[in-house]
Amino acid sequence: MAVVNSAVQLDLAKKSVRELNQFLHGDLAGRGIQRVEVLNPGGVHNLAVGLDADVDVDIRGHAGYFIAGMNKQARVTVHGNVGWSVAENIMSGVVRVRGNASECAAASGHGGLVVIAGDASSRCGISMKGCDIVVGGSVGHVSAFMAQAGRLVVCGDAGTGLGDSLYEAVIYVRGKIRSLGADAREEPMTDADRAVVSRLLDQAGINHAASEFKRVASARALYHWNSDAHQAY
């Protein structure tokens, strides 16, 4: 463990993932640690999971699955790509990915902000429950599936089945939508929507005009079981 430019450096060529996470779960504030750099992540899984501390964590390279899962307070930045389920079940804080993210980014996230600078793959924001997600590029198929609360902002295109079985989460898309999922519909943008998009883009550090985005929300036809619908939603 070295201290460079006031950041504690942990090198995964020398330390295990468990050692890293136990260190991050320790009394960082009591030791005056505000910034941690993780070197040589090598695509491994489960880095910086379960954090509950006011700390900045920079992961220098590509990382694997479940990065920064269950995050509280911490600001975790991955300077590379991530695998499946980055920021899964995020509660608060900020998780940023400078590259691309694989499937299920921010799945089931309750709060906080997740920023994917590149593309996010399929099922981005699946079952999100209150977090905000900003994707600089495009999202894959069935993104925001069964999303219950929060906002998903997509600066590029969206794949098939966007917002399938959507609850009260709202999706904003700047590019093309390949297809909407069951019960998702495009709605007019209001001033309140534009304000939300502007604020989230600002937080994400991405520069687009809010007026370029479309709003997708639930038509709420699936809220109540209709035996006459014969599954034809």
Partner 1 sequence: MCGIIGLLVKDAGSRDSLGTLMAPMFDCMAERGPDSAGLAVFGAPVDGSLRRYSLFVGDRGYDWPAFHDAFKEQTGFDGDLRPTENHAVLVSAIEPPRFRQWLAECDPAPHLLSVGRAIDVYKDEGFPTEVARRYHFAEMQGSHCVGHTRMATESAVSPAHAHPFTAGEDFCLVHNGSLSNPYMLRRKLEAEGLCFETDNDSEAACRYLEWKMRQGESLDEAIETGFAELDGFYTLLIATADQLTLVRDAFACKPAVVAETDAYVAISSEFRSLAHLPGVADANIFEPLPEEIYSWRL
Shortest distance, CB of residue 130 to partner 1, whole angstroms? 26
Shortest distance, CB of residue 22 to partner 1, whole angstroms? 21
CB 132 within 8 A of CB 113: yes
| Tokens at 94, concatenated | 């900020």
Nearer to partner 1, 62 or 72 (CB): 62
Nearer to partner 1, 69 or 93 (CB): 69
Angle (nearest 5°) at CA 175 between 211 and 222:
90
Nearer to partner 1, 142 or 152 (CB): 142
Shortest distance, CB of residue 167 to partner 1, whole angstroms? 22
Nearer to partner 1, 65 or 172 (CB): 65
Nearer to partner 1, 150 or 161 (CB): 161
State the Cα–Cα distance between residues 175 and 123, nearest whole angstrom: 17
State the Cα–Cα distance between residues 172 and 199, nearest whole angstrom: 13
Nearer to partner 1, 135 or 210 (CB): 135
Concatenating the DSSP letter of every residue in 194-225 gives: HHHHHHHHHHHT----GGG-EEEEE--TTSS-
Write the Ramachandran bin of 40: left for phi over 0, alpha for psi from -120 to 50, otherwise beta: left
For residue 173, CA distances in Å to 31, 63, 151, 177, 190 come to: 43, 27, 11, 7, 14
Shortest distance, CB of residue 142 to partner 1, whole angstroms? 8
Shortest distance, CB of residue 170 to partner 1, whole angstroms? 25
Shortest distance, CB of residue 64 to partner 1, whole angstroms? 5
State the Cα–Cα distance between residues 225 and 233, nearest whole angstrom: 11
Residues contributing to the site for partner 1 (CB under 8 A): 42-45, 62, 64-65, 81, 83-84, 100, 102-103, 121-122, 140-141
